[in-house]
Homo-oligomer: A and B are copies of this chain.
Amino acid sequence: MRTAIRRLGQAFRALALITLPALGGSGWAQSAPDLGAAIDDLVAANRILYRQGVVDGFGHISIRHPEREDRFLMSASLAPGRVGKADIMEFDLEGKPVDQRGRSIYSERFIHSEIYKARPDVNAVLHSHSPTVIPFSVSQVPLRPILNSAGFLAPNVPVFEMRRVAGSGSLLVTDSMRGKALAETLGDRPVALMRGHGNVVVGPTVQRVVARAIYTEVNARLLIQAITLGGPLVYIDAEEGRAGEGNRDRNEAGHGTDRIWQLWIEEAMGANVGTNMGTAEPKR
Contact = CB atoms under 8 A, between A and B. Distances in A.
Contacts of A263: 56-57, 79, 81-82
A141 interface: yes
A129 B149 contact: yes
Nearest to A140: B231
A247 B141 contact: no
Instruction: Classify the interface of chain A: helix, strand, loop or mixed.
Output: loop
B233 A139 contact: yes
Count of identical protomers in the assembly: 4
A198 to B, nearest CB: 8
Nearest to A238: B168
Contacts of A195: 234
B106 A254 contact: yes
Contacts of A234: 138, 161, 195-196
A156 interface: no
A17 interface: no
Contacts of A4: 276-277
A134 B107 contact: no
24 contacts: A46-B274, A47-B274, A47-B275, A51-B274, A57-B259, A57-B263, A77-B259, A79-B259, A79-B262, A79-B263, A81-B273, A87-B278, A107-B253, A129-B147, A132-B222, A134-B222, A135-B226, A136-B229, A138-B226, A139-B226, A148-B172, A171-B243, A196-B234, A224-B228
Given A86-B279, A231-B140, A222 B266 contact: no
A170 B246 CA distance: 9
Contacts of A171: 148, 240, 243-244
